[in-house]
Homo-oligomer: A and B are copies of this chain.
Amino acid sequence: MIVALDAMGGDHGPSVNVEAAMLTIKNFKHIDVLLVGREEILARELSTHGYSGDRISILNATETVEMDESPSLALRRKKDSSLRRSVEMVRDGLADAAVSAGNSGAMMAFGLFLLRAAEGVERPALAAAMPSEKTPFLFLDMGANVDCSPDNLFQFACMGSAYATHVMNIEKPRVALLSIGEEANKGNELTKDAYKLLEASRMNFIGNIESKAIFRGDADVVVCDGFAGNVFLKTTEGLADILLKMIKQEIMSSTMAKIGYLFMRSAMKRVAKRVDYDEYGGATLLGLNGACIITHGRASAKAIMSGIREASDYAEKKVYERISMEIKSYYEPKQQ
């Protein structure tokens, strides 16, 4: 498998991306990496690792899409950007998948323009596996579609169910709708209408789930519109940050606590590891005709490597083709 990596993307730029490529070829014998970006910079970075093999190659691209750049402007103006060239490699069959730690909106725009939505898919969504108390669950949409119809949510559920089956190897994924109460009549107009569609389908729909229950691991796929999804994700990020900060403040304010922390440090580190996004790769642009994965802008080399492995998996199993098939089948009414 060949994965095209937008080597200019992310908050840390080329050095972390090149390191991720090095980690990838070391850990996965079946994945080669195509670094896309400014050739002279990438060649220099590669040489600092002393690498001269043929499993990492470079494709020159002179422009970079900024993190806060408008996706539609990037689409019109950044024709030679590392992000666009990476997706083009997938379109032209020169790479099996594309990965970026850059601008997720721009990657969605390039993906839609260059690869098109998979057959039957109205709107691709951004999905990621997240940790729970039990097994990980797939969460979508993370923010690609801020205004959704009930039918959009229904399709997200179909795509998520297909992904959970084929990538996460869950036989009959339990699909839930994010809402503000468990009963069918709880939620807003959007979720109440989506509930009816899901209930009438052949999907393994288990009903509404509240955001406080998500982490219990009661569902394998959690579906919502991109606005609510992004609020959910950023709340978890913000709260985890402030809790850690408070714990640090309180520890530093007391000698007893500082001593205690010395003993507890490794337990605390294990907690941090369990909730660490680095262990969970990236977000998939689900429903495109091809494999595109976006990682967090702050992603470490290890996280980007996880994203590359995920992208390779997704491409190898041709999940986007299966999504089209499953969407069709889910539109058939439930057998009574």
Contact = CB atoms under 8 A, between A and B. Distances in A.
Q: Majority SS of interface residues in chain A? A: helix
Interface stretch (A9-17, A230-238, A278-286): A230-238
A241 interface: yes
A211 B231 CA distance: 6
A169 to B, nearest CB: 24
Interface residues of A, number: 61
Interface stretch (A94-102, A116-124, A160-168, A246-254): A246-254
Given A250-B271, A264-B257, A267-B247, A211 B238 contact: yes
B180 A230 contact: yes
A221 to B, nearest CB: 17
Contact of A212 (B214, B216, B238, B259): B238
A220 to B, nearest CB: 17
Contacts of A267: 247, 250-251, 253-254, 256-257, 260
B261 A234 contact: no
B228 A246 contact: no
Contacts of A132: 242
Copies in the complex: 2
B227 A210 contact: no
Contact of A235 (B212, B246, B259, B271): B212
Interface in A200-239: 210-216, 224-228, 230-232, 234-239
Contact of A231 (B68, B232, B245, B256): B232
A274 interface: yes
A254 B264 CA distance: 9
A41 interface: no
Nearest to A214: B238
A245 B256 CA distance: 23
Contacts of A180: 143, 146, 226-227, 230-231, 234
B251 A264 contact: yes
Nearest to A238: B212
A71 B137 CA distance: 33
A262 B259 CA distance: 10
18 contacts: A180-B230, A214-B238, A215-B239, A224-B231, A235-B235, A235-B236, A243-B271, A246-B275, A247-B267, A250-B267, A250-B268, A250-B271, A254-B267, A257-B263, A257-B264, A257-B267, A259-B263, A263-B263
Given A253-B267, A256-B263, A260-B263, 4 more contacts: A133-B245, A216-B238, A246-B274, A259-B260
Interface of A: 68, 132-133, 143, 146-147, 178, 180, 183, 187-189, 191, 210-216, 224-228, 230-232, 234-243, 245-247, 250-251, 253-254, 256-257, 259-268, 270-271, 274-275
- In the complex, the 6 A-B pairs of residues with the closest C-beta atoms, listed nearest first: A260-B263, A212-B238, A260-B264, A257-B267, A180-B230, A212-B234
